[in-house]
Structure 1
Amino acid sequence: NTDAEGRLVLCDALTYTERFNPRSVIDIATLTGAAVATFGSHVTALLSNNDDLASEIIGCGTDCADPAWQLPMWDEYQSLLNSNFADIANIGGPRAGTITAACFLSRFAEKFNWAHLDIAGSAWVSGAEKGATGRPVPLLVEYLSNQKA
C-alpha cells in the first residue's frame, strides 16, 4: 500500500541496523493517525518486542513527565498482515492501525530488542498552544542517561 510508505523506510532502516548487533533499538515516527485517535496529544504510543525494554521506556517517560503507553502486538494483530499478493502486507486494514503498523515493523526487528514510539499525537498540539512539543526528546534523554556504556 503506497499510503503506508513511512513504515517501508523504517523496515529498511531496521534491516540495516541488524548488522551492527545492537543491544536495543528505538525507532520514532509520526507513523499513524490511529495513534492520534487513540491517545490524542497526551501519550506516546509504545510497541515493543521486549517487555523489559518497554517497561524501562515507560518508567523513563514517567520520571520525566513524557508518558508512553504500551500497546499489544498479539498474534491476532500479526495475522492482519497476511496477504494474498505478497509475503506480508504493509498495512493491516482500517482497524488497529497503530498496532498493525508496529507489527509490520516487528518482522524486521526479530534479532534485537526493539521499541517503536508512534509520536503522531504527542509530537504536536493544536489549538491556542499549537506547535511542536519536542516530545519524545525528554523521554529519550532520560532513557539514554540511564544506559551503561
Structure 2
Amino acid sequence: LNTDAEGRLILCDALTYVERFKPAAVIDVATLTGACIIALGHVNSGLYARSDALADQLLGAGRKAMDTAWRLPLDDDYQDQLKSNFADMANIGGRPAGSVTAACFLARYTEKYDWAHLDIAG
C-alpha cells in the first residue's frame, strides 16, 4: 500500500457512500495524478467511464464548454496492476499508466451505478 495515494482512498469512500442513494450516475472530478499531465498535457482532461452513453454525454458537454476531455481505457489488463500480496488490492499501480490505474481503483467502488471519472490534473 502507498500512503501517497490518499486522495483516491477518500474518493472511494464517497463513491461507496453514494450507493445508498441509488443514483442514476455519478461523476467525480479530481486531480488524483500528475500522470494525466504526462499523457495529455494541459489540453484535455482524462475521462474514464464504463458507459459509452455517459462518456459521450460528457465529451459533448466538454466540447460545448470548450473544456475538452479525452477518453482513456479501463481495460482489465490495467486492473492487474492493482494486485497486492498484502491486501485485497493495492491503491496504486506503479509508474506505468498511473492515471489509468487510479481510475481502475475507483471503478471497483462504482459497480452499482453509471460512473465517470474526470482527471483534471492538466
- For Structure 1 versus Structure 2, the TM-score category normalised by the shorter chain is over 0.9
Once the two structures are TM-superposed, the CA of residue 61 in structure 1 deviates from its matched residue by: 0.7
Q: Any residues of structure 2 matched to 1:3-42 within 5 Å, and which?
A: 3-42=4-43
Q: Where does residue 117 of structure 1 map in the other structure?
A: 118
Once the two structures are TM-superposed, the CA of residue 49 in structure 1 deviates from its matched residue by: 1.9
Once the two structures are TM-superposed, the CA of residue 4 in structure 1 deviates from its matched residue by: 0.3
TM-score (normalizing by structure 2)? 0.97
Q: Confirm whether residue 59 of structure 1 aligns to residue 60 of structure 2.
A: yes
Once the two structures are TM-superposed, the CA of residue 76 in structure 1 deviates from its matched residue by: 0.2
Partner of 2:103, secondary structure, is: helix
Once the two structures are TM-superposed, the CA of residue 10 in structure 1 deviates from its matched residue by: 0.3
Q: Per chain length, whose mean CA-contact separation is higher, i.e. which structure has more relative contact order (CA < 8 Å, sep 6+)?
A: 2
Q: Where does residue 71 of structure 2 map in the other structure?
A: 70
Residue type matched to 2:26 in 1? V
Structure 1 unaligned segments of length 5 or more: list them. Answer: 122-149
Q: How many residues align?
A: 121
CA distance in 2, matches of 1:59, 1:27: 17
Residue type matched to 1:48 in 2? A
RMSD over aligned CA atoms reads 0.6
- Percent identical among aligned pairs is 60
Misfit runs of 4+, over 4 Å: none
Structure 2 unaligned segments of length 5 or more: list them. Answer: none
The structure that has the greater radius of gyration is: 1
Superimposed CA distance per residue, residues 31-75 of structure 1 (whole angstroms, 9 cap, x where no aligned partner)? 101011111111010001211101110011112211011000101
Superimposed CA distance per residue, residues 65-113 of structure 1 (whole angstroms, 9 cap, x where no aligned partner)? 1101100010100111011110010000110000000000000001000
